[in-house]
Amino acid sequence: MANAAPIKFASPLIDDATIAAVGDVLRSGHITSGPWVARFEAALSAFCGGRPVRVLTSATSAVEVALQLLGIGEGDEVITCGQSFFTVLNMIVKQRATPVFVDCDLATRNIELGRVAARIGPRTRAIIPTHWPGSLVDMDALHDLARAHKLRVIEDAALVIGSRWKDRPVGAFGDLVAFSFHPNKNITSIEGGALVCNDADEARQVEVLRFHGIERQPDGTRDVAFPGGKFNLPDVNARIGLAQLERLPAFLAQRRRLVDRYFERFVTDPACVLPPRPVAGDGQSWNMFCILLPLARMQMTRKEFRDALAVRGIATGVSYEALHLSTLGRRFGYRRGDLPNAERIADATVTLPLHAAMTTGDVDRVCAACAEVLAAHPSESRSARVEQ
């Protein structure tokens, strides 16, 4: 065990055929956005039930462009969840709009939709929910709420490409949907992201916004009416993303096997809170496996727990910090105690390794290491199964 290979936090699977295909793109002489971007977009569009999709350099740029597309700016409010990655907070503030945080459900970690209506006011323009792996936001309730209050929705689907809602994949319906192809996501293009749009006009506006804001004029000259960004995905990345999309079902099946194994083997400390257990045929994809440590009753800190796993060759993460308590979030008047579930998750989460390059034997090792560390530093009581 001491000499076992380290278990990385993420490890994308790029096969030899993809590496050869990238070589072909490099030799073609056309390496920035070109025919492979068009093919990747067409494949993503087919995956999303024919809705137009435009690729960008990240999910972050997709969210930024989505906010610009909706004309969201100073004086506008955007409702989002306090438990998510910095992207949503940053991009709302970058547009000079105001983030309005709602707490998440402690088990699913998704925005508590029941609390959203109370935060909607005359300046509210949009909702940005982050879908959590294993448990999508309730899409019917989300879009009913948005329609009732005439709000736009930008789904942060960075973690969940391949998840399904009532037999339709995320992205195939709804409003604007952002995906990430960062190396620790379900598929990768090294860096990359995509925005699913409602119609050809929105897709055309995204093309303008992702490339300097340039509009081509009938006389062959160019103009900008808006300071656009530079978020176009190169063909090299698109070629990788296209090859990865073909392998998505296999990647998701392996991730699901590993999650099932976590649920079989992670029986070490009943006071640890695991994610909601998946049920057969639920259509959910799994990008991360996050546990909540019973910190108040443990004789060690989360840092010590993670360090002890690192010594055993196991990399972990802390997804995510509480956005409202970041220095940027606090600028909008938030303080500790405002969103108790997001805060508890932010304090006690450990994200265990989960990626398609892992084996069930790796999961067994992670579970055994967690058991060993927790046994060496027992919590005072092991009776409570889930303290929710």
Ligand X SMILES: Cc1ncc(COP(=O)(O)O)c(C=O)c1O
Minimum distance from CB of 179 to ligand X (Å)?
A: 8
Cα 223 from Cα 357, distance rounded (Å):
47
Q: Does 111 bind ligand X (CB under 6 A)?
A: no
Residue 156 or 269: the one with the smaller Cβ distance to ligand X is: 156
Q: Closer to ligand X at the Cβ: 319 or 379?
A: 319
- Near ligand X by CB under 6 A, which window of 54-62, 66-74, 328-336, 352-360? 54-62
286 binds ligand X (CB under 6 A): no
Token pair for residue 361?
Answer: 């034997």
- The percent helix, strand, coil of the chain (3-state, each to 5) is 40, 15, 45
Cβ distance to ligand X smaller for residue 278 or 317: 317
Q: What are phi and psi of 39, to 5 degrees?
A: -70, -40
Specify the stretch interacting with ligand X by CB under 6 A; choose among 56-64, 114-122, 143-151, 272-280.
Answer: 56-64
Residue 193 interacts with ligand X (CB under 6 A): yes or no: yes
Structure tokens at 386: 């889930």
Cα–Cα nearest to 52, from 153, 232, 175, 197:
197
DSSP state for residue 314 in the 8-state scheme:
B
Of the candidate spans 18-26, 80-88, 139-147, 258-266, the one that interacts with ligand X by CB under 6 A turns out to be: 80-88
**What part of residues 117-136 is at the interface with ligand X (CB under 6 A)?**
130
Out of 33, 58, 124, 232, the only residue in the binding site for ligand X (CB under 6 A) is 58
Q: Does 349 bind ligand X (CB under 6 A)?
A: no
Q: Report how many residues bind ligand X under the rule CB under 6 A.
A: 13
345 in contact with ligand X (CB under 6 A): no
State the chain's maximal CA–CA distance in angstroms.
Answer: 76
**DSSP tag of 290:** E
Q: For ligand X, which is the closer residue by CB, 86 or 211?
A: 86
DSSP conformation class of 6: P
Q: How many CB atoms lie within 10 A of CB 148?
A: 10
Looking at residue 226, its amino acid is: F
Question: Nearer to ligand X by C-beta: 178 or 300?
Answer: 178
The DSSP bridge partners found for residue 61 are: none
Q: Is 8 designated active site?
A: no
User: Distance between terminal CA atoms of the chain?
Assistant: 35
Contact 163, 135 (CB under 8 A): no
Stretch that binds ligand X, among 23-31, 84-92, 306-314, 372-380 (CB under 6 A): 84-92
Question: Per-residue x/- mask for ligand X, residues 142 to 161, rule CB under 6 A?
Answer: --------------x-xx--
Quick count: other Cβ atoms within 10 Å of Cβ 281? 7
What amino acid positions are annotated as catalytic residues? 185
Interaction site with ligand X (CB under 6 A): 58-60, 84-85, 87, 130, 156, 158-159, 180, 182, 193
